[in-house]
Amino acid sequence: MSTPIIEALQWRYATKRFDAAKKVSDADIKTLQESVNLAATSYGLQPFRVALITDDETKEKLRVAAYNQPQLTESSHVFVFANKLEVTPEYVDEFIRLVATTRGLDVADVQGYADYIKGSLATQDAAAIQDWTRRQAYIALGTLLATAGELKVDTCPMEGFDPAQVNDILGLPEQGLSACVIATVGYRSEEDQTQHAAKVRLPLADLFL
């Protein structure tokens, strides 16, 4: 089963040590940004934002918040996925206006969809909403990882950080956001022994019921 996407997924691994001297090109970063933007989300609401960090000072601070994991400073770019803390009726209206303008419709044509979304969100408390917005960010994370694999750009998905510290460093709560997962992006160091470890995965027959 060797198709280009399976080869890319075999090639990728959670990179522990990046080569700090190698930077990912603007063109590849743009492709990764496009892939995050094209990820599926529930209703299409995209209820998260992404901070893209390249400056050394912020990367150092993030490394401290991530229990000193070296990927934060050795990688080329750091994508911090931050989920929305609330999804307001105004946010849904904004989304609906985007749907209408993108598809050449009147807002009235899609008002029923807006009302349906708002009604569904109104039944959930803040914790449930945040759990849901966080899950949407993870779909985008997965899309980024697969796309990077195809570009032969290395990544490490990371949850090993203190969200409160990352929120503080990036000023996320003021923007109605909270950091949920990070992708460090760059090129593997020759020293990274993890690249030589065999991939550990279940047999398909165990995974699929």
Q: How far is the CB of 145 from ligand FMN (least distance, A)?
A: 8
Q: Closer CB to ligand FMN, residue 16 or residue 92?
A: 16
Identity of the residue numbered 37: N
Instruction: Identify the residue among 60, 115, 159, 162 touching ligand FMN (CB under 6 A).
Output: 159
Q: Closer CB to ligand FMN, residue 16 or residue 59?
A: 16
User: Rounded CA gap, 11 and 145, in Å?
Assistant: 11
| Phi-psi domain of 27 (left: phi exceeds 0; alpha: psi -120 through 50; beta: other) | alpha
Residues in the chain: 209
Which 177-196 positions form the footprint of ligand FMN (CB under 6 A)?
Answer: 181
Q: Closer CB to ligand FMN, residue 28 or residue 154?
A: 154
Enter the DSSP assignment of 51: E
Are 193 and 51 within 8 A, CB to CB? no
What's the number of CA atoms in the CB half-sphere (13 Å) around residue 10? 8
Q: Closer CB to ligand FMN, residue 114 or residue 151?
A: 151
Q: Closer CB to ligand FMN, residue 12 or residue 92?
A: 12
- If binding is defined by CB under 6 A, does position 44 make contact with ligand FMN? no
**Residue 191 burial (10 A CB sphere; 0-12, 13-18, 19+):** exposed
- If binding is defined by CB under 6 A, does position 156 make contact with ligand FMN? yes
Which 49-108 positions form the footprint of ligand FMN (CB under 6 A)?
Answer: 69
Q: Residue 34 corresponds to which tokens in the numbers above?
A: 């496009």
Q: How far is the CB of 8 from ligand FMN (least distance, A)?
A: 12
Q: Taking CA 8 as the corner, what is the angle to CA 39 and CA 180, rounded to the nearest 5 degrees?
A: 40
Which 3-32 positions form the footprint of ligand FMN (CB under 6 A)?
Answer: 13-14, 16
Binding site for ligand FMN (CB under 6 A): 13-14, 16, 69, 156-160, 181, 199
